[in-house]
Amino acid sequence: MSRVLFAPFSIIGSLIAGFVARKAFDGIWSAIDNEEPPEAGEEQESLARVLLATVLQAAVFAGTRALFDRQARRAFRRLTGSWPGPKEKA
C-alpha cells in the first residue's frame, strides 16, 4: 500500500531531480568548456569529448536522481511512519 501512496512523491521528485540535474550538469560543463556539450551524432567532435560529456551527464543525472529518491523516501517515512520500499535485510 505504501508503494501506491509513494507514487506521487516519486513522480514529483523525479521531475525536480531532472531539472536540478540539468542545471548542475550545465554548470559543471561550463566550468570544463565554453562550448555546448557535444552530441554523439556531431561529426566534427572528438570521441573523447563526446564520451566525457556523456559520462559526466549520466553521473550527474544518476546521482541527483538517487539523492532525490532517497530524500523523498525519508520524507514519506516521516509523514507516514512507513518506508516505501524494501525492508531491512536480516
Query: Does the residue 34 lie in any domain?
Result: yes
d(CA 5, CA 88): 20
Query: Does the residue 86 lie in any domain?
Result: no
- Structural domain harbouring 74: 2-80
Q: Locate cell 523525479: which residue? A: 14
The residues, any chain, with a CB within 8 Å of residue 57's CB and separated by 6 or more, are 25, 37
- Measure Cα distances from 54 to 35, 46, 51 in Å: 15, 12, 5
Prediction pTM value: 0.82
Query: Does the residue 51 lie in any domain?
Result: yes
Average pLDDT across the chain, whole number = 91
What pLDDT score was predicted for residue 90?
61
What pLDDT score was predicted for residue 50?
94
How many domains are there within the chain? 1
Q: What is the chain's alpha carbon radius of gyration, rounded to the nearest angstrom?
A: 18
